[in-house]
Homo-oligomer: A and B are copies of this chain.
Amino acid sequence: MSSRPSKDLITVPNPEPGRDYEIVCETDEFTCLCPVTGQPDFATVRVTYVPDRLLVELKSLKMYLWSFRDEGAFHEAVTNSVLDDLVAALSPRRMTVETVWKVRGGILTTVTAAHP
Contact of A31 among B40, B55, B59 (CB under 8 A): B40
- Name A29-77 residues within 8 Å CB distance of B: 29, 31, 37-40, 42, 51, 55, 58-59, 61-62, 66, 69, 74-77
B4 A38 Cβ-Cβ under 8 A: yes
Using Cβ atoms and an 8 Å threshold, which residues of chain B touch A27? 106-108
Counting every copy of the chain, the complex holds 10
- Interface presence of A8 (CB below 8 A): no
- Interface presence of A85 (CB below 8 A): no
A15 B111 Cβ-Cβ under 8 A: no
Q: How far is the CA of A19 from the CA of B77 in the complex (A)?
A: 12
B25 A107 Cβ-Cβ under 8 A: yes
Q: A21-B79, A22-B112 are known contacts; what are 12 more A-B pairs with Cβ within 8 Å?
A: A3-B37, A3-B39, A4-B38, A19-B115, A22-B111, A23-B109, A23-B110, A25-B108, A51-B76, A58-B107, A58-B109, A62-B107
